[in-house]
Chains A and B, each alone.
Chain A
Amino acid sequence: MEKIKTDNSRRAFLKASALVGGGLMIHFSGLAKLAMPTNNGEIEAAVQWSEINGYVKITPDNLVKIICPNPEFGQNVMTSLPMIVAEELEVEWNKVVVEMGPHDNVKLGPQFTGGSNSMRMYWRPLREAGATARNMLMQAAAESWAVPIAEITTKGGVLYHEKSGKKGKYGDFASKAATIPVPKGVKLKEVKDFNVVRNSQKNVEGSKIVSGKPLFGLDYKHEGMLIAMIQHPPAFGMKLKSFDASQALKMPGIKDIFSLKLYEDGFEQGGFDVRTFNDLLVVVGETTWEVMNARKKLLVEWMPAGDTKDTMAGRSGGRQVIVPGTLENTTDQYAKMLENAAKPAQQLRKDGDPETAFKNAAQVIERTYTAPFLAHNCMEPMNFFAYVTDEKALLVGPLQAPGWTEPTLSKVLKLPADKIEIQMTRMGGGFGRRAYGHYLVEAALISRKAKAPIKLIYSREDDTTYGIYRPMYTATYRAALDSNKNLMAFHVKGGGIPEHAIHANRFPAGAVDNYLAEGWQIPSNITIGAFRAPRSNFNAAAEQSFLDELAEAMDKDPIDFRLELLKRAKENPVGKNNEYDADRYAGVLKLIKEKSDWNGADHKKYNRGVAAYFCHNSYAAHVVDMIMKDGEPYVERVFSAIDCGIVINPDAATNMVQGAVVDGIGNSLYGGLTHKNGVVEENNFHKYRIIRMHEAPKKIEVFFVQNDIDPTGLGEPPFPPVFGAVANALHKATGKRFYQQPFALPQTNAGSV
């Protein structure tokens, strides 16, 4: 058998990430952790990098390397974060080499990709890193030339002293600069002087992507690496009883089959330690196909798990949580939600006297909205490489939150953090799913037990049916109108399995005198977690549909109605802790009204729906233009207005918004995961409908509010309001209101009783 290895070996990986020159590092994280010992002699001889700080390395030949701290899952941080450094460092962007950093939160900060936080978290630190490195290079030049630093200027990676006519490349001074004590309080550039940031720069990995270079976790190879897969219970609420591996072990390429326990009893789980099953049945073999085939030969007996206990970490020690053993059915889940919605719930916020207002109302409008569980469906299924011995652990693959996973690995493997090396590959999608690092822990334990480097791979079916899903939600909205159709009171009561979605302090809180928000939840064994704009992705659908219906009942234009509420929230806000900035919220609505030509006569062919939402510190509004095509709704055109402060990389940001719009249309119309006796029914893409090319709009025009506010998130904020805009356009297209997601399915929820 001729096996040809790629060069994507451990050695090649190290070579690419090795650093020499020691130098100084700037860090802004208080977390103490030893730097990773990664060097070996052969590598050290390769290139002389002077590390000016954790983000900047320069060679004597004037190669400038900028390190990206945050894992890349398509949000383009590998380009946009280094752009920020390059801006302040004053180097030519097209000559910069960008490299993904290893997990090292001393040198590289929190390294968390999620919560639309990368820009917000790194904007200032990366500007400081770039400016400080530039200052150190200027100091080095000033000393060498014996001139005052104030007389040194820089441009495009070159230092100048105009008076003497001296000039030199950064590379000439890099090793000297690396020995200079790190200055504090270096002045940052004026926003008006930016020439890298706010200019569209191409994806630094674009060319590797289109030529099929190994970039992703699934592409990673290591000498002697075996493939591992987990045979998980067929249903939520089941567990492993016994297994007979004798036939499977005889299959070609199979090395080992065993069961293992992920967390020991009483293990205190942090918020991101969610895992679907704790007893794992593992098949290890030489190739993926061989392992997949051997799985079919396993004889396994599963049994009901019954109610089980999980221990959740808390400030005052572990807290025990009962996980019910029910084999859930989707019809029962909906019935249970309806039943619970009628019961008293936890009050989350109350302004004024909503009870009296509702009692005295001339008209009460009440509508109930529902949404199903959603699977993330990352195109690259969950996977991770692990090589764990008694002394140390190497883990390589796609994940969003190395800093949260490492402490868990350390506890489970009983290894100190400095013996655990995590390298992040490019991720084939994330959407929140890869913030839950259980699959690293699984890979690590499998490697240790198999005594071999292994890559754990989830099949598509494993990935879909063994997920950390977006919860199932419902919310009932009520509005009280007086006889003049003025809004007197607003009430939202939300629930979900296993948690509700209510953000009590978000709009329209603050804009209505009498306001009540309540929440309730139903425990479940279906595992849930963050999914692109958690909670907001449901609220924006329900709340924004309700506001649309309310505007209609009040004979008001839906945009004007929202603007009226926002005016009230700005001029005379009700209550405290209103999370949003009413001006910026109104800003995106005004911009979308203008750009979509909202009241224009030229759009008669379309059924227009509008929605806006605030989440993750940014504001988004969309107008979707829908037609009916072959009996199905088709969103042909979309206008989007976004306020996320300074837009770092405009074309990439536009791409991100366009993607979020497509994702929102797809998930609102088609997305959904159902259960039958605990079994996930949609186990692959033939059953789980994902939006495809012909269902994507012809045009999505994106407009950014121009301001100089420090950048906030963009990965999530444009996503939620798409759901509301689609629902509102559907009303125009069909004359009916849609209360139940996914909207393309027959509607059984009438919205009101």
Chain B
Amino acid sequence: MITLNINKKNYKVDADPNTPLLWVLRDIIGLVGTKYGCGVAQCGACTVHLDGEAVRSCVTKISRAQGKKVVTIEGLSESNNHPLQKAWLELDVSQCGYCQAGQIMSAAVLLKENKNPTDEDINDAMAGNICRCGTYLRIREAIQLAAKEQQKV
């Protein structure tokens, strides 16, 4: 039995410690906002926060997540009001939407560590997140908008 702290809530999970966090989130706990895209840390659709760091949950064993704080897209904000979520809606970023939770989770760590990112900083931080619909320009713009909003507060 492994205890996982996800979005400030404890879950006791009876699963092999080698199981990737992604599948425990999706299949056992039922938090499906974190997406399966590639299974090999190449697309970023499964990005979650582990003690504030962006990790690919498809290659993060639950044994590694034990004792740490996991935040998923469902726990990013109280009421869909993280500056990034607001900026995403303001600029109507999404097309199919499948990768966007992972994009937002990656961007959230960037913005925490870099309050005023340049486009180059964004390119670097977001290079691990694929958007097959090609919404990259709007993602970039939304991160910039969120950064500005964050500074106002």
Contacts and interface: CB of A to CB of B under 8 A. Distances in A.
Interface string B80-124: 100011001100111111111100100000000000000100111
A5 B27 CA distance: 9
Interface in A198-213: 200, 202-203, 205-207, 209-213
B132 interface: yes
Contact of B14 (A2, A379, A696, A699): A2
Given A1-B13, A287-B23, A684-B42, A209 B130 contact: no
Interface residues of B, number: 65
Contact of B35 (A218, A430, A459): A218
A666 B27 contact: no
B80 A207 contact: yes
B148 interface: no
A153 B131 CA distance: 46
A428 B92 contact: no
B53 interface: no
A219 B39 contact: no
Contact of A289 (B20, B40, B76, B94): B20
A696 B123 CA distance: 9
Contacts of B72: 212
Contact of B136 (A6, A219, A378, A693): A693
A575 interface: no
B35 A426 contact: no
A256 B130 CA distance: 35
B130 A685 contact: yes
A205 B92 contact: no
Interface in B35-91: 35-40, 42-43, 45, 72-74, 76, 80, 84-85, 88-89
Nearest to B34: A212
A76 interface: yes
B153 interface: no
A310 interface: no
A747 B88 CA distance: 40
B11 A684 contact: no
A288 interface: yes
- Chain A interface SS verdict (over half): loop
Contact of B94 (A210, A218, A288, A378): A210
Contacts of B129: 692-693
B152 interface: no
A652 B95 CA distance: 9
B95 A75 contact: yes
Contacts of B97: 74, 205, 209, 215, 426, 428
A228 to B, nearest CB: 13
A73 interface: yes
24 contacts: A1-B14, A72-B96, A74-B94, A74-B97, A209-B88, A210-B85, A210-B104, A211-B76, A212-B33, A227-B27, A381-B36, A428-B98, A655-B92, A655-B93, A655-B95, A655-B138, A658-B137, A662-B135, A690-B132, A693-B126, A693-B129, A694-B124, A694-B126, A699-B137
Given A659-B95, A690-B132, 14 more contacts: A6-B32, A206-B88, A210-B101, A212-B31, A215-B97, A379-B96, A428-B98, A429-B96, A460-B36, A662-B134, A685-B42, A690-B43, A693-B122, A694-B124
